[in-house]
Structure 1
Amino acid sequence: MLKVFLISGSPAKPAHTKALVTEIGSQLQKKGCEITMWDLQKQPLPFVDPKYHHYPGEHPHQIVKEFVKLATEADSLVIGSPNYHNSYSGVLKNALDILNMDILMNKPIGIVANGGGLRSTQPLDHLRIVVRGLLGLAIPMQISTCNSDFIMQGDTYVINSSDIHKRIAAFTDQLIHYTEKFSKQSI
């Protein structure tokens, strides 16, 4: 069973990004993957400490150790962010700075973003560069949503766009395909 670690990089509550990442996780589970989700709004990480860059698992904070362990054990990741000033969020940047190349090397990584009023790929362009810098493999397909792709149900957002649901189906298929090709078990 493929292990996928999903990270929601929005500090908002409720968050469109979390709804998007949650739906992707649900689809991955339906397709037989074991998923773990990290919501940086509910589980914020301490500010990165460069002293632990080469050995992030030795960080003294238990929450950092747990985050690093989940990223290390995952066969692939999904990283989601809102659009903050035409880029990704600072809390997500901090989380990615905690990780290093040894953890993400050759792991397929799906990237998704919510652009607010418009679908914007700028956060995805920036994340693609960071994933490459960490030696991860950003899959070709990505998802960009905007607020009108969601409706409020209770105290959370849910996706209300058939186009986005179709894109999620194709995105999760591609992530699984790349993960099977590049997973630790097949190398």
Structure 2
Amino acid sequence: MVKIVGINGSLRTGSYTAKALDLAATRIEALGAEVEVLDLRKMSLPFCNGEDEYPTYPDVEKLRNAVKDADGLILATPEYHGSVSGVLKNALDLMSFEHLAGKVTGLISVLGGQSNSNALNDLRIIVRWVHGWVIPEQIALGQAWKAFNDEGKLLDEKLSQRFDEFAQSLVDNTRKIRGVS
């Protein structure tokens, strides 16, 4: 079975990034994959200082082990000042090739303003640098404040279809690249 780990790169209460990640996870699970969501709001991670070990931070080991054991990833970030959130970048910096190489990765960015691809492009470079594989389908969710109803459901049918295509691509490509059924 395909195992995917999603990482929520937002610390905001009521985060639209968390909603988008949960939506993607639900669609991926519907395709028969197992999904574990790591919510950085609930983890105690130090700032990366280049050390290999962080013995006083057990969540570093939890993060590393979850990602290492996964076949694929979903990286979800709010876009701050045209790039990836600091908390997501820090979480990625706490890992190495040992954890990230070979992972098939889907990318989601969430913006309050108009949709663009800056954070997605930055994440694509980071994942490529650690020898991961990024699927071509990606989600850039602009004006997130009007994308969801009160129950967290998407209001736009085309956007909903993009989430379906994203989920299908992540599962299919993970199966192909990782050789998992």
Where on the TM-score scale, by shorter chain, does this alignment land: which range? over 0.9
Aligned letter for 1:102?
E
Tell me what 1:161 maps to: 156
Task: Give the alignment's Cα RMSD to 1 decimal.
Answer: 1.5
8 A contact 1:10–1:81 mirrored in 2: yes
Change in 2 beyond 3 A, CA 1:100/1:172: same
Equivalent residues in 2 for 1:129-168, closer than 5 Å:
129-146=125-142, 147=144, 148-153=146-151, 157-168=152-163
Change in 2 beyond 3 A, CA 1:185/1:171: closer
In structure 1, the gaps of 5 or more residues are 53-57
Tell me what 2:4 maps to: 4
* Moved >3 Å (runs of 4+): none
User: How many Å apart are 1:48 and its aligned residue?
Assistant: 1.4
In structure 2, the gaps of 5 or more residues are none
TM-score, scaled relative to structure 2: 0.93
Quote the Cα distance in structure 2 between the aligned partners of 1:150 and 1:44: 29
Give the match's secondary structure for 2:5. strand
Aligned letter for 1:70?
A
Tell me what 2:43 maps to: 43
Tell me what 1:178 maps to: 173
Aligned letter for 1:69?
N
TM-score, scaled relative to structure 1: 0.90
Tell me what 2:122 maps to: 126
User: How many Å apart are 1:130 and its aligned residue?
Assistant: 0.6
Identity within the alignment, %: 31
